């Protein structure tokens, strides 16, 4: 039994498929969605600058943010103060988002949807990797991902990956004054054992 919390190195290397999907998801998260959101925020600022009677609550009716959130987003963009509509001017004009803003909003929604699809594809690749490598543990594959082993476990369960028995080397021996006192075993291993506590299994 191992006397350390550190699992042994398995020499596992992610497949090309997993690496490709991981790169695609990272690009969506780090580049595509942020760029689309930045363009949308700039477009909203321009809309407010060109129409000084356009209120934040009115604009909020057409975008997925509250008026208060818009106030925070627009604060560093130099948007001029709002002008109140005077009754003497008649009925206030009905605001319709410009075609430019509608295009930017559609592009951002598309980027968000692409990010979700990239995440789903990555999770499917992770599940496939675990199925193809029965001895591969969650901590070992997590070393190559931006998530913890617990998140990998959640992904595996969501994709019905068969649970596997953990190696004895994954158990942790606790000593007291140099003498063996107890052994900590992996949760996934414990719940498969006969006589496992039902209250722990159901967690």
DSSP codes, 74-95: HGGGTPPPP-PPPGGG-SPPPP
Sign of CA dihedral 20, 29, 11, 131: negative
**pLDDT tens digits for the chain (203 residues)?**
333 444 445 678 999 999 999 999 999 999 999 999 999 999 999 999 999 999 999 999 999 999 999 999 999 999 999 887 677 666 767 899 999 999 999 999 999 999 999 999 999 999 999 999 888 888 899 999 999 999 999 999 999 998 764 555 566 767 777 776 776 767 666 666 767 777 766 65
* Pairing label, strands 172-176, 179-184: antiparallel
Q: Domain limits of the chain?
A: 16-83+97-164, 167-203
Residue pair 14/137 in contact by the 8 Å Cβ criterion: no
Q: Is the dihedral of CA 195, 199, 202, 203 positive or negative?
A: negative
Structure tokens at 98: 């410009």
Alpha carbons 28 and 9: distance in angstroms, whole number: 31
Quote the pTM value. Answer: 0.71
């Amino acid at each position: 039994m191992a006397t350390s919390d550190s699992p042994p190195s398995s020499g596992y290397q992610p497949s090309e498929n997993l690496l490709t999907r991981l790169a695609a998801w990272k690009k969506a998260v780090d580049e595509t969605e942020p760029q689309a959101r930045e363009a949308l925020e700039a477009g909203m600022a321009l809309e407010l600058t060109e129409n000084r009677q356009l209120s934040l609550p009115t604009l909020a009716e057409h975008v997925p943010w509250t008026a208060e959130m818009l106030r925070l987003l627009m604060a560093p963009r130099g948007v001029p103060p709002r002008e109140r509509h005077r009754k003497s001017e008649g009925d206030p004009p009905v605001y319709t988002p410009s075609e430019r803003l509608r295009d930017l909003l559609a592009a951002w929604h598309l980027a968000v949807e692409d990010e979700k699809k990239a995440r789903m594809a990555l999770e499917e690749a992770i599940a496939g990797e675990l199925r193809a490598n029965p001895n591969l543990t969650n901590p070992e594959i997590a070393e190559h991902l931006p998530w913890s082993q617990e998140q990998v476990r959640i992904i595996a369960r969501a994709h019905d990956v068969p649970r596997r028995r953990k190696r004895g080397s994954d158990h942790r021996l606790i000593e007291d004054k140099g003498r063996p006192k107890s052994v900590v075993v992996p949760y996934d291993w414990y719940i498969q054992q006969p006589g496992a506590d039902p209250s722990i299994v159901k967690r």
